Amino acid sequence: MPGYVSAELTGAHYIDGDHATAEGAIAAGCNFVAGYPITPSTEVVERLAGRFPSTGGNFIQMEDEIASSIAIQGAVWGGAKAMTVSSGPGISLMMEHIGLAAMTEVPCVFVNVQRGGPSTGLPTLPAQADMMQARWGSHGDYEIIALSPNSPQECFDLIIHAFNLSEQYRVPVMFMMDESVGHMTEKVVIPPYNQIEVTPRRFTTKRPGEYKPFALDNGSMVPPMVKAGEGYGIHITGLTHDERGYPVMNAQIQDRLVNRLVDKILKNVDKITRVRDDGVEGADVVVVSYGITSRISMRAVRMAREKGVKVGHLRLVVVWPFPEQLVRQLARKVKAMVVPEINLGQVVLEVERCAAGNCNVVSVPHAGGAVHNPNTIYSAIMEAAG
Amino acid sequence: MTTKAGPKNPVERYLRMDRMPHIWCPGCGIGTTVNCFARAIEQSGVDLKKLAIVSGIGCTGRVAGYLSFDSFHTTHGRAIPFATGLKMANPELKVVVYSGDGDLVAIGGNHFIHAARRNADLTVFCVNNFNYAMTGGQIAPTTPLDAVGTTSPYGVCERPFNLPFLAKSCGAVYVARWTAYHVRQLTKSMIEAMDKRGFSFVEIITPCPTLYERRNRLGDGLARMEWFRDNSVIRHGSDTRYADIGFQEKIICGKFVDVDRPSLLEMTQAKLGDVVSHRRWQEMSRRQRRPLGEEATKG
């Protein structure tokens, strides 16, 4: 990082995905980050530690990832836009607090620069094996949103989107990078800050005494917020709670709360879904991919097209919530779907479930440590095309 | 709740009366500490709007839920890092962490020592009832040697923490210990602790008649208070190294540490304030030499 950079970095840059993520967070209005060093994500917090004094943000290196993942939630209640950054082992430690953020509806972002696992695994090499953990890792039923960028430019653009979604739905958003994207250096264009769309936090218009922290208004499934220190005297708990935020230990309140937490995401799948469609219409075979693997898939798709195969490419930019309807409809139109991912088959399970036997679903697994060889995906496409 | 004639609780305005009755057992000392805290708030004149209470999990973890300020009932052991983030994001707040011994120094021990080391701008009240009460009386890192708990039926064979010594050696600027019997002294200490900048810590020894006292045949809540009265030794300024608590041995109470050291917030503001003003100066002088925006495109 250069010795000095001004607060706004509008212009073209040659930076890696980790640095682009840090810049995108700043552009999104993030002003609190707590983190703990871990490869391959550390550059994100290093950049922020250097940049935040100029942009008015706070960075604190906590004693562990458990502390980081809850310090950000304290900061959110203090009025900040907050995120934490880690990789597999650290994200595993954060799981309880991802559940807390889901339960107490704290808008925040968890960046996971994925590396090979399980356990310490391959600290410096890529994987996409935390996708199911991102979705289900904490205990209990809940829904989160997960985004998967495939380039440094997208790290910048999508982390802003991640913050916006977290505010819109009051939900923790998982930003599922991987070592390749994090350490890949490419051109990143940062637009003028006043042209960047940032979703502000929705604060209540009610006065203290009238406001209930988890009461819905205007038909929304997402309650408006307040911050500490304004006289509302809110109570926030990870226990099952009613509209006042008070703990209530019974099945009715549990049913109402947990269903709303899940429904506010699942009933808005159409709004949240974001895919990139490359020649899916009229294709016989469709490659479904996300993150770095989508770039390898592009090459394989081109190779297959050169052989005259009608192959499309559907890239999941938002992986969770899963675009269920879209995949269901697609399954009725194509012969096969090919799902390459740098794990032993995680998102492919969802594709299979939604295809419901209407087309062939082919997993192209990779245990991690490298990206796929395009030929492997190409062969799977050719075989599926028959 | 139905309204009843009769005297009102004098600290009612600090409590969430719509949550009464509370869950604590008869003879439990936590309510006593909350009473002291309410009076400390009243006497200190702290801005109630700017007061935030953060608790972890356990019997004392429920304190946040009964106080009428902004209050957060977080996860087990993590009240301190939550509070650290809250305070950093909104330095105007007075942030009080109010939790139990198991929560703060067993599962939360790492956060406790680091918050003290950083001199984080937090006041920490640790209610020490010598065991995990919410889960039925298991031993804690504070259970005195030889005392009995459900997970140590033959008596504890590990040495407990000496919390004032731990807090002091990690850098706390205020350290005191009282029992639930010492309501006036405790109230005064709470006021002093909240008045400090940096990491202030008060340990409060309380009865747990349902579990710790019953299993160790130490009598009911009242008997325990009498025991505290007869067996506490007030030694202000005492060397915390000698503040260990042995099973049914004298309890050293008092204010042990009251020093001034720049807090995390003060240190951060001083350091980064310099950096930012220096950089602004650099930027201004650079802009005089080059057209605006040129440096930005270099990345």
Domain match, A153 and A59 both: yes
Instruction: Please state, for a pLDDT cut of 70, what percent of chain A lies above it.
Output: 98
Domain match, B296 and B188 both: no
Q: Which residues in chain A have Cβ-Cβ distances shorter than 8 Å to B49?
A: 229-231
Structural domain count of chain B: 2
Domain match, B40 and B125 both: yes
Beta B123-128 vs B200-205: how paired, if at all?
parallel
Site from B22, B55, B74 to mutate, A interface, most A CB atoms within 10 angstroms: B74
User: What integer is the mean pLDDT of B185-203?
Assistant: 98
Q: Which residues in chain A have Cβ-Cβ distances shorter than 8 Å to B48?
A: 231
Confidence band of A218 (pLDDT split at 50, 70, 90)? confident
Assess whether pLDDT exceeds 70 at residue A100.
Answer: yes
Nearby residues of A196 by Cβ (< 8 Å), 6 or more positions away? A27, A28, A160
Domain match, A16 and A161 both: yes
What phi and psi, each to the nearest 5 degrees, are found at residue A108?
A: -160, 165
- Across the interface, do B81 and A82 touch by the CB < 8 Å criterion? no
- Across the interface, do B73 and A239 touch by the CB < 8 Å criterion? yes
Domain match, A59 and A170 both: yes
Which tens digit of pLDDT belongs to each residue from A163-212? 999 999 999 999 999 999 999 999 999 999 999 999 999 999 999 999 99
Domain match, B143 and B251 both: yes
DSSP calls for chain B = ----SSPPPTTGGGB-GGG-S-SPPTT-SHHHHHHHHHHHHHHHT--GGGEEEEE-SSTGGGHHHHBSSEEEE-STT-HHHHHHHHHHH-TTSEEEEEEEHIIIIIITHHHHHHHHHHT-S-EEEEEE-SEETTTTSEE-TTSPTT--BTTBTT---SPPP-HHHHHHHHT-SEEEEEETT-HHHHHHHHHHHHHSSS-EEEEEE---IIIIIHHTT---HHHHHHHHHHHEEE-TT--GGG----TT--EEEEEEEE-----HHHHHHHHHHHHHHHHHHHHHHHHHHS-TTTGGGG-
Domain CATH code at residue A348: 3.40.50.920
Assess whether pLDDT exceeds 60 at residue B296.
Answer: no
Domain match, B60 and B110 both: yes
Nearest Cα neighbor of B173 from B192, B203, B198, B194 is: B198
Domain match, B85 and B170 both: yes
Alpha-carbon gap, residue A319 to A351, rounded angstroms:
11
Domain match, B255 and B292 both: no
Task: Classify the phi-psi angles of A283: left when phi > 0, otherwise alpha if psi is within -120 to 50, otherwise beta.
Answer: beta
Residue ending a domain, choose from A171, A195, A219: A195
Closest-CA distance of chain B to residue A132, Å? 23
Which tens digit of pLDDT belongs to each residue from A281-304? 999 999 999 999 999 999 999 999
Domain match, B132 and B143 both: yes
Q: Which residues in chain B have Cβ-Cβ distances shorter than 8 Å to A53?
A: 272, 275-276, 279
Domain match, A17 and A149 both: yes
Domain CATH code at residue B247: 3.40.50.970
Whether A356 and chain B come into contact, CB under 8 Å, resolves to no
Q: What is the pLDDT of residue B195?
A: 97
Q: Answer yes or no: is A295 within a domain.
A: yes
**Measured between CB atoms, which of B19, B71, B75 is closest to A70?**
B75
Domain match, B250 and B106 both: yes
Alpha-carbon gap, residue B295 to B287, rounded angstroms:
9
Alpha-carbon gap, residue A100 to B204, rounded angstroms:
28
Domain match, A155 and A293 both: no
Interface of B with A in 3-32 (CB under 8 A): 16, 18-19
Q: What is the pLDDT of residue A2?
A: 39
Residue ending a domain, choose from A195, A216, A245: A195
Which tens digit of pLDDT belongs to each residue from A117-176? 999 999 999 999 999 999 999 999 999 999 999 999 999 999 999 999 999 999 999 999
- Across the interface, do B89 and A8 touch by the CB < 8 Å criterion? no
ipTM surpasses 0.85: yes
- Across the interface, do B82 and A237 touch by the CB < 8 Å criterion? no
Assess whether pLDDT exceeds 70 at residue B2.
Answer: no
Confidence band of A219 (pLDDT split at 50, 70, 90)? confident
Assess whether pLDDT exceeds 60 at residue A3.
Answer: no
Average pLDDT, chain B: 93
Interface of B with A in 91-110 (CB under 8 A): 92-93, 110
Confidence band of B288 (pLDDT split at 50, 70, 90)? low
> Domain residues for A24?
11-195
> Domain residues for B298?
262-299
Average pLDDT, chain A: 96
Assess whether pLDDT exceeds 60 at residue B294.
Answer: no
Q: What is the pLDDT of residue B280?
A: 66
Which tens digit of pLDDT belongs to each residue from B201-254? 999 999 999 999 999 999 999 999 999 999 999 999 999 999 999 999 999 999
Domain match, A45 and A174 both: yes
Q: Answer yes or no: is A214 within a domain.
A: no
Domain match, B169 and B70 both: yes
A147 in Cβ contact with A317 (< 8 Å): yes
Q: What is the pLDDT of residue B297?
A: 45
Confidence band of B7 (pLDDT split at 50, 70, 90)? confident
Domain match, B298 and B254 both: no
Which tens digit of pLDDT belongs to each residue from B138-181? 999 999 999 999 999 999 999 999 999 999 999 999 999 999 99
Domain match, A286 and A184 both: no
Q: Answer yes or no: is B4 within a domain.
A: no
Domain match, B43 and B95 both: yes
Domain match, B296 and B182 both: no
What phi and psi, each to the nearest 5 degrees, are found at residue B134?
A: -55, -35
Interface of A with B in 4-33 (CB under 8 A): 4-6, 8-15, 31-32
User: What integer is the mean pLDDT of A91-101?
Assistant: 98
Q: What is the pLDDT of residue B281?
A: 67
Which tens digit of pLDDT belongs to each residue from A338-348? 999 999 999 99
Q: Which residues in chain B have Cβ-Cβ distances shorter than 8 Å to A227?
A: 90
User: What integer is the mean pLDDT of A235-256?
Assistant: 98
Closest-CA distance of chain A to residue B246, Å? 31
Q: What is the pLDDT of residue B113?
A: 98
Helices then strands, each counted (H, E), chain A: 13, 16
- Across the interface, do A67 and B111 touch by the CB < 8 Å criterion? yes
- Which DSSP symbol is given to A193? G
Domain CATH code at residue A69: 3.40.50.970
Structural domain count of chain A: 2
Site from A54, A77, A94, A105 to mutate, B interface, most B CB atoms within 10 angstroms: A77
- Across the interface, do B75 and A74 touch by the CB < 8 Å criterion? no
Domain match, A64 and A186 both: yes
Assess whether pLDDT exceeds 70 at residue A335.
Answer: yes
Q: What is the pLDDT of residue B8?
A: 86
